[in-house]
Amino acid sequence: MNNKNLFACLLLSLGVWTGCKEVFSSQDSRLSQIAYAPEPYPIQIPEGLPQFEPPADNPLTVAGVALGKKLFHDPILSADSTQSCASCHLSSLGFTDGKAFSKGIDGVEGRRSAMSLINVAFYNTGLFWDGRVKTLEDQALVPVEDPVELHHRWEDLEKQLRRHPEYPGLFRQAFGIERIAEIDKYLAAKAIAQFERTLISGDTKFDQVMRGEEKFTDDEAVGYDIFFDFTDKHPDAECGHCHNAPLFTTQEYENNGITAAQSFEDYSDPGLGGVNGKKLDLGKFRIPSLRNIALTAPYMHDGRFKTLEEVIEHYDAGGEYGPNVSPVLRPLKLNKTQKRQLIAFLHTLTDRTFVSDLETQNN
Amino acid sequence: MRKFSFLLLFATLFIASSCDDDTPKPEPAGDIQITFKGNYDGETFYTQKAYDYTDDMPVRFSAFNFFVANISLLEQEDATEETELIDIDFIDLGFDETQTAEAEAGVTVSAMKVPAGTYRGLKVGFGVPADLNRTNPVDYGSGDVLSKTSHYWSAWNSYIFSKIEGVADVDGDGQFETSEGEGLTLHMGTDATYTERILFPSSPIVVDEDGSINLTLNIDLKTLFYMPINEYDVNNDELLDIETFNGTHTDSELLIAKQLMRNFSEATALD
C-alpha cells in the first residue's frame, strides 16, 4: 500500500470513528466553493414533434448538458485517448460515421452500423438496432467498455476524470457533488444522456411544408404521395406504415426483408430475437428514423446499401423471402420517375440548420 | 409553514363542506376486470400459425390488434344509465404458439371500482371515438395509448382502429411469400368505422361490495371476414376475397374496412 492510500485509509477510519462524518480533501473544499445553481435547460421542441419527459432523476440543466457535450466529444473516454463518442457519431453525418461497420480504437470492426442520435430523446421502445438497452443513461455506459468501441475501463476513466483539471468543477456545477470521489460512471452517463436529449431536429423542408411556410416541388409532392399514399393518383410504396411521421419511425421492430432466409436459423444477426429470446423476432430490427437520411449512408443495420437508390430498388422488388418478413412489403412496380420522386421526397427530410448549427458550435 | 397552515385550513373547510347532507356518501364498490381473448374459428388464436382460411388457401396472421373505447356497464337494457369503465385502451392479441399461457389467458385491462349493484348489459366500442379521433399521437405523452404513431394514418386524418396483418398462400405453393405479393395488410380506421356493441349476458352482472368479478370477451378473428354478399364484390361464398382485397387504402377497400370493423360486433361474445 502506498502512502497516499494509507493516508486515505487512516482518514476513512477516522471518518467512520467520528460518527461517519464525511471525509473531505482540500480539493473537495475547493470544490464546494464552486457555486451549484442548476438552471433548467431551455429545451425547444419544434411544432409537430411529440413531447418527451426526461427521467425524474435526470432533468436537463444547462451545466449538465454542457458537461455531457464535453464528455461526448472528449477522447479521454477511450483507453488510448484517441476516440470519443463523436468519432462514430459525427454531427455532419447526422451523428453517424459514414461507414458500414464502425471501427473502435483497436481497429476492430463492430458488427453493426453506427446509429444516428438525432431525436434519440423520443425513443421509448429500446435503444440500439436490437433494443437491448432501455435508457440513454444505461446506453452511455456501454461504448466506453465495448472492446470494439472505446475499449476503456470505467474504473480507470473515473480516476482520470477525478484528477482532471476541469471535470471536477463541471461535475459540481452539473450535479452539486461535494466530493471529487462522487464523480462516477453513472453521473458521467447522466450528463451524456442530457446532451443527447438536446439533439432535436424538426426544421426540415418537410416540417416547413407541414407548417405552411414552404412548398414541395412537383417531384417532392409526388414522392410524398407515394410514401404516405394520400391519393390513388400514384402507386403506394407503403413506407408510411413503418416510417410514419413525425419521427419517420413507429419505433416498432420489423423484418424488412433485406436478408433472404429459408428459416429463422439463417439470420446471421439475430436482432431483436437475440435480445428477447423469441424465435419469431429473429432478424427483426428497430425501424430507423428517416430524418436526415440523405446524410447517413450507408444504410441498414449492416450498412449493406450504399445509396438511397439501392434502398429503393430493394423495396421495389418486394424484399427477399423470409419467415417473418412484414406483410406490408410487396413488389411495388415503381417506374424510374416514381423512384426518383420518392428519393426527392426523402431529401426533404434533411435539417440543414440543425447540422450546420452543431458544426459551428463544435468548432 | 404559513402556506401550509393555509392549505390545511382549506382542506378542513373542504372536508367540512363535503359532509353536507345532500352530497352522496362514497358508494360501496367492487372491482371489475375485463379480459379480451382472441379466437380463430372457435379455437384460441395464434399468430404465425397456418389457418385454413378457405379450403385451398391457408393464412398465417402476424398481427391482430385494436382499440376499445367507451366500455361501460348498463343498469337497464335501454342503456339510459351507464357506469363508465374504460375510456380508451389498446388490445393486442398477437400471441404466437410459444405463448400459449398468454393467449389462453387473454389480455386483461386494469381493474376498476364500480358501485355495487346489478347490471344488465355491457357496452363496448371498437375503434377510437370521434372526439378522440380529432387528436393525433403528437398530442400525447409517450406512455399514453393514443401516442402510437404505428396506429395513426395521416391520409385518413384518423387513428388506425385495428390492424390485421398476415400472409396468405395465394398461389398454393406451400410458402407464405410477401416477396410475391401475398401479404395481407388490413388496416381499419376513420370515424365511419367506429363500432359499438351492447352485450347482454344470460344472467345479470352482479357486483358485490368489495367483491371482484371478471368479464371475458371472446373475439373471433374469422368472423370479422364475413361480408354481406350483395353489397360487395366478393365471390368466395361470404368470406372476404383476401386475394383481391389484401389492403385497405383505395376507396373500395375502405368499404371493406368499414365492414370489417362493423363485424367486431358480431365477432364478440361474452363468456
Taking CB atoms and an 8 Å cut-off, how many pairs form between chains A and B? Answer: 98
Q: Which of A134, A210, A264, A330 best probes binding to B when mutated, by most B CB atoms within 10 angstroms? A: A330
Nearest to A327 among B150, B154, B167 (CB): B167
pLDDT of residue B232: 53
Q: Are B1 and B7 in contact (CB under 8 A)?
A: no
Which one has a higher pLDDT value, A121 or B239? A121
Least confident piece of the model among A7-21, A222-236, B100-114, B190-204: A7-21
Quote the ipTM score.
0.84
* Nearest-angstrom CA–CA distance, B73 and B67: 18
Mean pLDDT of chain A: 90
Chain B: closest CA distance from residue A14 (Å): 39
Q: What is the pLDDT of residues B40-75, one digit of tens each?
A: 999 999 999 999 998 889 999 999 999 999 999 998
Q: What is the pLDDT of residues A73-113, one digit of tens each?
A: 999 999 999 999 999 999 888 888 888 888 888 888 888 99
pLDDT of residue B191: 94
Checking if the pLDDT of B209 tops 90, the result is: no
Positive or negative: CA dihedral A170, A176, A177, A178: positive
Which one has a higher pLDDT value, A18 or B209? B209
Which one has a higher pLDDT value, B18 or B155? B155
Q: Measuring CA to CA, how many Å separate A7 from each of A27, A31, B6?
A: 15, 20, 54
Nearest to B142 among A124, A249, A319 (CB): A124
pLDDT of residue B231: 55
Q: What is the pLDDT of residues B119-130, one digit of tens each?
A: 999 999 999 999
Q: Is B136 in CB contact (< 8 Å) with chain A?
A: no
Q: At B104, is the secondary structure helix, strand, or coil? A: helix
**Which chain B positions have a beta carbon within 8 Å of A241's beta carbon?**
185, 187
Residue B22 binned pLDDT confidence (cut-offs 50, 70, 90) = low
Average pLDDT rounded to a whole number, residues B206-230: 87
Gyration radius of chain B over CA positions = 22
Q: What residues in chain A have per-residue pLDDT under 70?
A: 1-24, 357-363
pLDDT of residue A231: 87
Residue B268 binned pLDDT confidence (cut-offs 50, 70, 90) = very high
One-character DSSP codes across A215-275: ---HHHHHHHHHHH--SSSS----HHHHS-TTTT----EE--S-S--SSGGG-SS-BHHHH
Q: Give the residue from B92, B82, B84 showing the smallest Cα distance to B36.
A: B92
Between chains, do A230 and B155 touch, taking CB under 8 Å as contact? yes
Q: At B136, is the secondary structure helix, strand, or coil? A: coil
